């Protein structure tokens, strides 16, 4: 065995063949004669074995649950219904023809609608303006009716006299604010989380 075999030393391809366990007879003969390549293939074999023996690491046990919490799973019933509908739709030439006709009618009507809209934009704008004007008129009539109805109420005169002067108005406002704040405080007290029970030194 020498380090000066006539054949060239092993390159990456020869080493791959060696590691795959499929070296040619010439390669085997070369290794028998060449110390350099023998040492190389032994080192490569050892390295490959060490790498292959590395353990698999385990993630935390709840990985699957954490993943599944973020994964959308399609509804099997909906998928089956869709597949059944598709099968029914494509069951016979007649069914296909009906489906194609419906699709054509829908497509045609949508196209016609879009074309009419584009050709009659002025008419659509005028109709829109008329609708907005009518809506505003009816809103004003409704507001006036509500105001008239309010002033006709028997309690309205008394209420008006209560806030007739600035002093009374301020007093009424203060009273209402006080009632509002009291209400808020009472609500907070009702909705507060009860304090946790703690152990006391005296038992």
Partner 1 sequence: MPSRVDLAPKTDQEIVVLARAGEEAAYRELIRRYERPLFSLLFRMVRDRELAEDLAQETFVKALNAIESYRPEFKFSSWIFKIANNAAIDHLRRRELDTLSLEGSPQAETPEAIEATALQIGGRQESPLAEVEARELGGQIEAAIAQLRPEYRSCILLRHVEGRAYEEIAEILNLPLGTVKTYIHRARNELRQALAHLRE
Interface with partner 1 (CB under 8 A)? 12-13, 15-16, 43-44, 46-48, 50-60, 63-64, 66-68, 70-76, 78-80
Residue 52 or 190: which CB sits closer to partner 1? 52
Residue whose CB is less far from partner 1, 78 or 119? 78
Q: How far is the CB of 78 from partner 1 (least distance, A)?
A: 8
- Residues 10, 127: Cα–Cα separation, whole Å: 87
CB of residue 53 to partner 1, shortest distance in Å: 7
Sign, Cα dihedral of 170, 171, 177, 181: positive
Closer Cβ to partner 1, 8 or 183, answer by number: 8
CB 39, min distance to partner 1, A: 9
CA dihedral angle for residue 73, residue 76, residue 78, residue 79, rounded to 10 degrees: 90
In angstroms, what is the minimal distance from the CB of 120 to partner 1?
Answer: 43
Burial 136-160 (b: 16+ CB within 10 A, else e): eeeeeeeeeeeeeeeeeeeeeeeee
* Closer residue to partner 1 (CB): 43 or 127: 43
Q: CB atoms < 10 A from the CB of 172, how many?
A: 13
């Amino acid at each position: 065995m020498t380090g000066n075999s006539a054949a060239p030393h092993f390159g990456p391809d020869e080493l791959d063949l060696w590691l795959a366990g499929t070296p040619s007879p010439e390669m085997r003969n070369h290794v028998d004669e060449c110390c350099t390549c023998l040492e190389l293939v032994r080192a490569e074999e050892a390295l490959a074995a060490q790498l292959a023996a590395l353990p698999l690491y385990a993630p935390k046990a709840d990985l699957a649950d954490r993943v599944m919490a973020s994964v959308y799973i399609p509804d099997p019933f909906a998928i089956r219904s869709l597949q059944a509908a598709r099968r029914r739709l494509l069951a016979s030439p007649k069914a296909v023809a009906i489906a194609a006709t419906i699709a054509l009618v829908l497509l045609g009507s949508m196209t016609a609608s879009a074309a009419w809209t584009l050709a009659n934009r002025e008419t659509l704008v005028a109709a829109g303006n008329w609708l907005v004007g009518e809506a505003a008129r009816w809103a004003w009539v409704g507001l006036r009716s509500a105001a008239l109805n309010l002033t006709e109420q028997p309690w309205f005169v008394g209420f008006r006299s209560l806030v007739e002067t600035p002093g009374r108005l301020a007093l009424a406002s203060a009273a209402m604010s006080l009632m509002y704040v009291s209400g808020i405080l009472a609500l907070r007290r009702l909705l507060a989380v009860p304090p946790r029970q703690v152990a006391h030194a005296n038992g």
